Chains A and B, each alone.
Chain A
Amino acid sequence: GENVEQHPSTLSVQEGDSAVIKCTYSDSASNYFPWYKQELGKGPQLIIDIRSNVGEKKDQRIAVTLNKTAKHFSLHITETQPEDSAVYFCAASLSGNTPLVFGKGTRLSVIA
């Protein structure tokens, strides 16, 4: 089955700097790659996703890039703010009928 590795497990950045979280996946047939943000005491929420026919997607300060050849995808957050502090999860899915497989999460701390 699919295996998703996520790095780093913790990340601290100064407010205003950029943050990058990287994930690799094992099955080249995977075609859907969402990112979730989990705030304290809440369930994860989708922040951005990308499909395998697209190399990059951007939504305001967040962007995701996908390299199918290398089987890795990354989340980029620019101009970080304290409210970006949370746990971020990447995930991958083989097909619509295959549930998402999640990475182990990255705890991002933005220091004011």
Chain B
Amino acid sequence: DADVTQTPRNRITKTGKRIMLECSQTKGHDRMYWYRQDPGLGLRLIYYSFDVKDINKGEISDGYSVSRQAQAKFSLSLESAIPNQTALYFCATSVGRNNSPLHFGNGTRLTVT
């Protein structure tokens, strides 16, 4: 979905480095999410936010932090990257209404060496 933009698209970093993944959206949606995709494990929720200043942990939040600086921006940080955080990361948005579809960005492929 071109209305949900993730940067960078690819990133290679070393163990122990701090890294930030950015997500911005032009859809005007209130809710934003970060998911991680690993082969054979599907999509797992890291963090989500229903509004600016609202932050909620997902299934696999350990080792990650997030910041919702504005309605349109939701960034994911790895304070000290480790190799098992190598994965495909997706940002998604939805309207602030019950059971609304998610709109995904095209992902950031992160490799930690």
Contact = CB atoms under 8 A, between A and B. Distances in A.
B70 interface: no
A96 B101 contact: no
A6 to B, nearest CB: 8
Contacts of A29: none
Interface in A96-111: 96-97, 99-105
Contact of A99 (B48, B105, B106): B48
Interface of A: 6, 9, 31-32, 34, 36, 41-46, 49, 51, 89, 93, 95-97, 99-105
Contact of B90 (A41, A44, A100): A44
21 contacts: A31-B99, A32-B99, A34-B101, A43-B1, A43-B4, A43-B90, A43-B92, A43-B106, A43-B107, A44-B102, A46-B101, A89-B42, A95-B99, A97-B98, A99-B45, A100-B102, A102-B43, A104-B40, A104-B42, A105-B40, A105-B42
A44 B1 CA distance: 9
B104 A43 contact: yes
A104 B106 CA distance: 18
A89 B35 CA distance: 13
Contact of B50 (A31, A45, A97): A97
A-B pairs with lowest CB-CB distance, top 9? A96-B98, A43-B104, A32-B99, A104-B42, A102-B43, A46-B101, A102-B42, A105-B42, A43-B106
A18 B98 CA distance: 32
Interface in B37-52: 40-45, 48, 50
B33 interface: yes
Interface in B82-113: 90, 92, 97-107
